[in-house]
Chains A and B, each alone.
Chain A
Amino acid sequence: MIEAIIALTVLAAIFGGILGFAAIRYRVEGDPIADQVEQLLPQTQCGQCGHPGCRPYAEAIAKGEAINKCPPGGQETVEKLADLLGVEVPELDASAQEKEKPKSVAFIHEEACIGCTKCIQACPVDAIVGANKQMHTIITKECTGCELCVAPCPTDCIEMRPIAQTSRTWDWQLNKIDIAVIDVASESAKLEEADNA
């Protein structure tokens, strides 16, 4: 009886020690859920969710905020987030749905630009080139389409333009193309029939 108790106590002490060591030694810094959520967010840094960037929203989601507030991500992102967090898939937030639109990039009407640099300060990804009293322009490749530069422009010279589709980004449509599958057997049969006739 006593031996058993001693043995169990010793075992408990050993395992407790190992676990305690592991808890300190292999401690995970930060919030892994927030990291995973951030991976799924579109990183437009647009702030349409009400948070100043994607990372803060990811952290908020990790703490239990609604997952349907990301218009740039759309329903797909909501589904992915629901999948990750193991929750029911909610509809995209109504206000977010309104905002959902084709992916666009900002475009500066350069003749109207007065070089105030307000849009440059607003751009979260440094995708606007320009200097004080110099014309500004968008680096289209880097623009995330967050629209944060549109409002601060005093001359309203920034416009959101949908990205034109190119042959590289073209979505193959089933009905658009047609591979002629040659049915050799039936064709030769047809030919034979024709010959016979």
Chain B
Amino acid sequence: MRSWLDKIKQGQLWRYQGGVHPATKKDNIDCDKPETLTLAKQLVVPLQQHIGSPAKVCVEVGSTVKTGQALTESRFYQSPPVHAPCCGTVVAIEARPSAHPSGISELAVVIEPSSIQDQNAFMAPLLEAELTPELICERVHQAGISGMGGAGFPAALKISPNKPLDVLIINGAECEPYISSDDCLMRNYAEALLRGVSLLEKALSPKLVIVAVEDDKPEAIKALQAAAGDNIVVRAIPTKYPSGGEKQLVQVLTGRELKAGQLPIDQGILVHNVGTAYAVQRAVDHGEPLISRIVTLAGDHVGEPRNYWVAIGTPVSHLLEQQKLGTHHQAIMGGSMMGFMLPNLASPIVKTANCILVNNTPAQAQEQACIRCGECAQACPMGLLPQQLYWYAKGDDLEKSRSYKLMDCIECGACAYVCPSAIPLVQYYRQTKAKVRAEDLLAHEAERAKQRFDARKLRLEKEQAERKARQKQAAERRLQQAQGAGNDPVKAALQRMQSKQVEIKAIENEQGELVPDNSAAIAARKARKAQARAAKDAKTTNTAVAAALARAKAKREGDNEQSAPAKSDNPAVAAAIARAKAKRNSEQPTEAEGSKPATSANPAVAAAIARAKAKKAQQTDASESDDTAVKPSSSSSNPAVAAAIARAKAKKQAAEQPSANAKDAAVAAAVARAKAKKASQSEQPELERPENAESQTASSANPAVAAAIARAKAKKAQAELQAQDENAAGDAKPAKSSANPAVAAAIARAKAKKMAQEQLQQAQNEHSEDARPVASSDSPVESSDATSPPKRSAAVAKAIAAAKAKQAAKAASSMESDNDE
């Protein structure tokens, strides 16, 4: 018994069921050396001309390209690149009508050829010695070779060695009517083609290589046999449509029938088109990528049907012009059996386009009812039942269509060809196949969505579990802590809360409504208040408070327009009173200035202005005043006290300065205004209204401002008075008994200053927007001053206070040194 391979070698041929014998229509087509078509005005190179995914564009609009330059690139064999078919400029990368029955626009690189075509960017030819299967594979990929027979399967993917290969078939059958491009190639380029075959052989190392040609192409067979060596078998096969189909060819040559969904490689067989073999030869030996192909132009309207070398990307209309065919014709891409009508003649020639037919628009034979003759079943090369498929296709029964193996239909059109009722069966199948594919896609998407949804759910659950675990851990930790320390902090806190909590009881009010019984809470609040007051009382023993009180008193005395002699023998209080007086004095220059002539009527306002002025002046002249401080009376043995007195004097001086300096006075006034504004905004007007009635009548120049100032001051004074009243008259006495009254006075002053600063800062923070316009409207100097202290935060305020303290210390030391001198 001869082995399977021997049988093949000895020329045994098999038959497949079905098939038809349409007129080949190839006799009058000129298959001599093909003419190279001139370049069109624009070449449209679609990014995807193959099965798989498009590669990444690597050129830009406007860039110049050379012949054979790669326009796209990809490492993956399923995305072979496309190349520039000529020298020129990339004018657009946009969606253009595709060479597809839908004519849907797809992304393409549009190249405008330049007038001189003398440069190419071909790859370096590979040397015979260095040829390895991997290298050939890589080169085939780089050259962008995809199947030239029609399906456009990336060639590199097909030849990357992965499975043992018995038979390599080179398909030159070309069974469809009209198409003669492969015939033309075999006749004219037999040697190069066979060289390509041997390269493929090298890459795949099969046991047997067969070049199959239908026996209606005797010239091609002759040319091939003349060029073929011993290792390549050129086999003529009987002419029958569709012997050129992969599965049919495999069956004819090897007798093996491919199962549904099986690829030839699963049976140790591989099929390549002759055009692919030739392209491989060009790529390896010349480094030339796939940028042109032979295209047959034929059909009823074509005067001289012939073959052309056409650059990939040439619009079909340009090809038609060669035969003086206008665009009113309809062109079919592919053969008459499997080709499709091009909806747009601007569609380009792509790598898979082997033929352009310009036929009479076939008189649409009236589609008649299926008579169940069974001719189609006889003709079907796949052994399907076309009439059953037709029923299910018409009824949209996808399930049944599937079970009748619709997806195995190769759309050869043999059934439609034999149908006596002129039913376009293939169209039905194509339609149904598209639906089945869409359904599969939906099912796939649904499956994916479900997976993702489940994954998300799982993730969320996991996160929640983790969160719970963390909480549990924390609880455990607390428990451990509690056990370790003897008490649980949380529990202790809860207990504290509970002990504090008073049972809320509902009582009926006079309207008979149920209201919560707050009496306990009220009592508690009262108790807290009492406690706070007690604490305050205790604090008032502090000399600082005493000093403040004294100052307040002094102010009140100022209000009463009394000369207020320092009755207190407490130096701290005395100092405060002195300061207050000094401040009061300063109101005179302000009045003299005339900006607020009536302020004197409201001494509180005057005092506020004075204080503000004094402070400001002190800030600006701090160092100066400290340096030029009048030598203290030195009666005090405590330098701090001396410093305080000196400062007070300086303040007084500074307060007097404004009277001399109108500018400074304006500044001081503005500061006071800003302060007043702040005070007016922060304090509730209804509380002040009764008190400022007087001041409102008094202020004339700027009544609003004056009123605000008055309100602020009155409030302050009132607060201080209240404090004093509350603390009773005897409160001042403990201050007197203070061991170091001078120090206490200094502290009190510092505190008061700090408070003032904080107030100022708050005013600036909260109402800077309000203060600024007022200030700037009065004086430019002022505006800069009002906004310049960048007291934005408590930290800054603290720093300033610290600086001040330092300054005070410096003043004290300088004074000390002065004393020493």
Chain A nearest Cβ from B25, distance in angstroms: 7
Please name the residue on chain B nearest to A169 by beta carbon.
B438
Q: Closest residue to B98 on the A side, CB-wise?
A: A167
| Chain B minimum-CB-distance residue to A178 | B341
Contact A176 B336 (CB under 8 A): no
On whether the beta carbons of A167 and B104 are closer than 8 Å, the reply is: yes
- The CA of A154 and the CA of B450, in the complex, are separated in Å by 28
Interface centre among B442, B445, B453 (most CB of A within 10 A): B453
Do A180 and B435 touch across chains, with their CB atoms under 8 A apart? no
Shortest C-beta distance, B759 to chain A (Å), equals 38
Q: Which residue on chain A has the smallest CB distance to residue B427?
A: A174
Closest Cβ of chain A to B560, distance in Å, is: 63
Q: Does B119 contact A (CB under 8 A)?
A: no
Chain B CB within 8 A of A179 CB: yes
Name the contact of A180 in the complex, choosing from B23, B343, B362, B422 (C-beta under 8 A). Answer: B362
Contacts A167-B102, A171-B431 hold; do A125 and B452 have CB atoms under 8 A apart?
Answer: yes
Given contacts A43-B449, A167-B104, A182-B23, contact A126 B340 (CB under 8 A): no
Q: How far is the CB of A111 from chain B (nearest CB, A)?
A: 23
30 contacts between A and B (CB under 8 A): A45-B453, A54-B450, A54-B453, A124-B453, A125-B453, A126-B455, A144-B449, A165-B104, A167-B104, A167-B106, A169-B441, A170-B102, A171-B434, A171-B438, A172-B101, A172-B427, A172-B430, A172-B433, A176-B101, A177-B427, A179-B337, A179-B338, A179-B339, A179-B416, A180-B339, A181-B336, A181-B416, A182-B177, A184-B22, A187-B23
Q: Is the CB of B343 within 8 A of A176?
A: yes
CA–CA, A73 and B551, complex, Å? 86
Q: Which residues of B contact A173 (CB under 8 A)?
A: 431
Give the interface size class of chain A: 20 to 34
Which residues of chain B are within 8 angstroms of A196 by Cβ–Cβ distance? none
Bound complex: CA A53 to CA B442 (Å): 17
Instruction: Check if A65 is an interface residue, CB within 8 A of chain B.
Output: no
Q: In whole angstroms, how far apart are the Cα atoms of A125 and B456 in the complex?
A: 7
Minimum CB–CB distance from B503 to chain A (whole Å) comes to 43
Question: Does B357 interact with chain A (Cβ within 8 Å)?
Answer: yes
Q: Is A188 an interface residue (CB 8 A)?
A: yes
Instruction: Report B401 CB to chain A, min CB distance, Å.
Output: 14
Chain B contacts with A in 140-189, Cβ cutoff 8 A: 177
**CB-CB < 8 A to B441: which residues of A?**
169
Convert A115-148 into 0s and 1s, putting 1 for each residue whose CB lies closer than 8 angstroms to a CB of B.
Answer: 0000000001111000000000000001010000
Expressed in whole angstroms, the minimum distance between the Cβ of A5 and any Cβ of chain B is 51
Apart from the given pairs A176-B341, A180-B357, 13 other A-B contacts in the complex at a CB distance below 8 Å: A43-B446, A45-B449, A54-B450, A124-B453, A142-B448, A165-B102, A171-B434, A171-B438, A172-B433, A174-B427, A174-B431, A179-B340, A182-B336
Minimum C-beta distance from B601 to chain A (A) = 58
Give the distance in Å from the alpha carbon of A182 to the alpha carbon of B362 in the complex.
8
Contacts of A54 in B (CB 8 A): 450, 453
**Residue numbers in A under 8 Å from B416 (CB-CB):** 179, 181
Chain A residues with CB below 8 A from B106, complex form: 166-167
CB-CB < 8 A to A45: which residues of B?
449, 453
B606-617 CB contact bits vs A (8 Å, 1 = yes)? 000000000000
A44 at the interface (CB under 8 A from B): yes
Q: Which 8 A-B pairs have the closest CB atoms?
A: A43-B446, A125-B452, A170-B102, A167-B100, A172-B430, A43-B449, A184-B23, A43-B450
B299, closest chain A residue (CB): A180
**Quick one: closest A residue to B177, CB to CB?**
A182
Distance, CA A142 to CA B23, complexed state (A): 50
B101 & A53 in contact (Cβ 8 Å cutoff): no
Q: For the complex, is A152 an interface residue (Cβ under 8 Å from B)?
A: no
User: Would you call B438 and A42 a contact (CB within 8 A)?
Assistant: no
* Contact bitstring B447-469, A, C-beta under 8 A = 1, else 0: 11110110110000000000000
Note all chain B residues with C-beta closer than 8 A to A172. 101, 427, 430-431, 433-434
Residues of A within 8 A of B (CB): 38, 41-45, 53-54, 124-127, 142, 144, 165-167, 169-174, 176-182, 184, 187-188
Q: B435: which of A171, A174, A184 is its contact (CB, 8 Å)?
A: A171
Does residue B426 face the partner (Cβ distance < 8 Å to A)? yes
Within 8 A of A (CB), among B328-356: 332, 336-341, 343
In the complex, B718 has a CB within 8 A of chain A = no
Chain A CB within 8 A of B122 CB: no
> Does B776 count as interface, using CB distance less than 8 angstroms?
no
Q: Which B residues are CB-close (under 8 A) to A125?
A: 449, 452-453, 456
Which one of B100, B337, B362 contacts A178 once the chains associate, using CB atoms below 8 Å? B362
From A53, A144, A171, A187, give the contact of B445 (CB < 8 A).
Answer: A144
Taking the complex as formed, is B19 at the interface, i.e. its CB lies under 8 A from any CB of chain A?
Answer: no
B445 near A179 (CB under 8 angstroms)? no
Nearest neighbor of A144 in chain B, beta-carbon distance: B449
Task: Give the chain B neighbours of A42 by CB distance below 8 A.
Answer: 442, 446
Check B417 for interface membership: any CB of A closer than 8 A.
yes
Most buried by A among B413, B438, B442: B442
**Contact with A188, one of B23, B336, B417 (Cβ below 8 angstroms):** B23
* Complex Cα spacing A5 to B62, Å: 99
Interchain nearest-CB distance for A82 vs B (Å): 14
The smallest C-beta distance from A56 to any residue of chain B, in angstroms, reads 11
Let me know if B378 is at the binding interface, CB within 8 A.
no
A197 → B minimal CB distance (Å): 18
With CB as the reference atom, state the residue of chain B lying closest to A44: B449
Counting CB contacts under 8 A, is B359 at the interface? yes
- Of B23, B337, B340, which contacts A177 at CB under 8 A? B340
Does B597 interact with chain A (Cβ within 8 Å)? no
Pick the residue among A38, A169, A180 that contacts B336 (CB under 8 A). Answer: A180
Residues 418-442 of chain B, each 1 if its beta carbon lies under 8 Å from chain A, else 0: 0000101011101101110010011
A178–B364 alpha-carbon span in the complex (Å): 10
Bound complex: CA of A53 vs CA of B106, how far in Å?
36
Which A residues are CB-close (under 8 A) to B336?
A: 179-182
Closest B residue to A188 by beta carbon equals B23
**Chain B, residue nearest A170 (CB):** B102
Which of chain B's residues have a CB closer than 8 A to the CB of A41? 446
**Nearest B residue (CB) for A184:** B23
Chain A residues, Cβ within 8 Å of B23: 182, 184, 187-188
Contacts A167-B104, A172-B434 hold; do A126 and B456 have CB atoms under 8 A apart?
A: yes
Asked whether B452 lies within 8 Å of A142 as measured between CB atoms, the reply is: yes
User: Of A166, A170, A178, A182, which contacts B434 at CB under 8 A?
Assistant: A170
Q: How far is the CA of A54 from the CA of B357 in the complex (A)?
A: 51
A121 and chain B: residue at smallest CB distance: B460
**Complex contacts, B359 vs chain A, CB 8 Å:** 180
Nearest CB of chain A from residue B435's CB, rounded to whole Å: 7
| Bound: A94/B37 CA distance, A | 61
Q: Which residues of B contact A167 (CB under 8 A)?
A: 98, 100, 102, 104, 106
A60 and B728 alpha carbons, distance in the complex (Å)? 81
A179 to B365 Cα, complex, angstroms: 12
Min CB–CB distance A75 → chain B (angstroms):
12
- Report the minimal beta-carbon distance from B327 to chain A, rounded to whole angstroms: 17
- B104 near A126 with CB under 8 A, answer no
A179, B442: Cβ atoms closer than 8 Å: no
CA distance A31 to B456 in the complex (A): 23
A167-B104, A167-B106 as given contacts; A182 in contact with B449, CB under 8 Å: no
CB contacts under 8 Å to A, within B386-438, are 413, 416-417, 422, 424, 426-428, 430-431, 433-435, 438
Which residues on the A side are within 8 Å of B357 (C-beta)?
180
**How far does the alpha carbon of A142 sit from the alpha carbon of B357 in the complex, in Å?**
42
Nearest chain B CB to A116 CB, angstrom units: 19
Chain B nearest Cβ from A183, distance in angstroms:
8
Query: Measured between alpha carbons, how far is A167 from B103 in the docked complex, in Å?
Result: 8
B22, B357, B450: most-surrounded residue (chain A CB, <10 A): B450
Residues of B with C-beta under 8 A to A144: 445, 449
- Provide the bound-state CA to CA distance between A169 and B337, in Å: 23
Q: Which of A167, A179, A184 is most buried by chain B, counting CB atoms within 10 A of its CB? A: A179
Inter-chain contacts of B452 with A (CB < 8 A) = 125-127, 142
Cβ–Cβ < 8 Å partners of A142 in chain B: 448-449, 452
| Chain A residues with CB under 8 A of B428 | 174
